[in-house]
Amino acid sequence: MFTIIPLVPSHQPAIDSLLDDRFGPARRNRTAYRLRDRTELLPAYSFVALDGDQLVGSLQCWPIRLKSVGGARLPLILLGPVAVAANREGEGIASALMRASLAALDADDSPPVLLIGDAPFYGRFGFSAAATRHWELPGPVDHDRLLLRGPTTGLPRIAWVEAAASGNPSRPAKVA
Ligand SMILES: CC(C)(COP(=O)(O)OP(=O)(O)OC[C@H]1O[C@@H](n2cnc3c(N)ncnc32)[C@H](O)[C@@H]1OP(=O)(O)O)[C@@H](O)C(=O)NCCC(=O)NCCS
């Protein structure tokens, strides 16, 4: 049994421990961290899974943005990492975290959501690599794993993904 609740700062030590377990200490060298390290968590879209007082899963979201060749900047949300305790896999915890976060994002008419992850898992939540083929990040990325969810009409074909200032993202640019 588990419950999904919004992430609060007191969860952070247990989240760090979970992420070290699932991704290893070298996780901080990953490209996604170069985006996250310069911004602040979005608590409205970040959730944890608890079993009693034990943290068994977490999902975090961050504000980032996309810069086009012409210099225009569009807000995006970076989703991840998603992690579930190794001894609790296959119980639907990650899926429940995804549903909670995406419901909160959709309720706020959020900007498109970007993540780096396995398309076979995230595809079921509407993520696809179709729009991101020519997007560059501040580090190496496997473009088959650079996945976007949300309206893609009007998004630049060639663009740079960069960290955004902390705080709430602005509403998505309304592009025709
Ligand atoms: C990936 C992870 C989050 C999945 O958590 P989980 O709670 O076991 O996932 P759920 O129980 O909600 O979903 C399980 C389903 O997803 C599938 N799945 C899980 N990981 C998958 C992957 N990497 N690729 C494809 N499918 C995957 C399972 O086969 C299962 O499919 P089914 O519903 O058809 O049987 C968990 O294994 C984990 O923390 N892994 C280590 C960290 C990681 O890789 N995080 C993701 C990158 S940010």
Please give the pLDDT value at position 173: 36
Q: Which two tokens stand for residue 10?
A: 């007191």
Answer yes or no: is 174 within a domain: no
Assess contact for 145 and 129: CB atoms under 8 A.
yes
Q: Is residue 151 part of a domain?
A: yes
Give yes or no for residue 123 CB within 6 A of ligand 1: no
For residue 120 and ligand 1, the question of a CB distance below 6 A is answered with yes
CATH classification of the domain holding 79: 3.40.630.30
pLDDT tens, per residue, the chain with 176 residues: 999 999 999 999 999 999 999 999 899 889 999 998 878 999 999 999 999 999 999 999 999 999 999 999 999 999 999 999 999 999 999 999 999 999 999 999 999 999 999 999 999 999 999 999 999 999 999 999 999 998 888 899 999 999 986 444 444 433 32
CB of 22 closer than 6 A to ligand 1? yes
Ligand 1: distance of its center to the CA of 70 in Å? Answer: 38
- 81: cis peptide before it, omega within 30°? yes
pLDDT given at position 168: 46
Kindly state whether residue 168 falls inside one of the protein's structural domains: no
pLDDT of residue 37: 82
User: Is there an atom of ligand 1 within 6 Å of 138 CB?
Assistant: no
Query: Does the residue 91 lie in any domain?
Result: yes
pLDDT at 38: 76
* pLDDT score, position 169: 47
Q: How far is the CA of 121 from the centre of ligand 1 (A)?
A: 6
In a domain, 100, yes or no: yes
**23 inside domain:** yes
- Stated pTM of the model: 0.92
Q: In total, how many domains does the chain have?
A: 1
Q: Which amino acid is at 52?
A: G
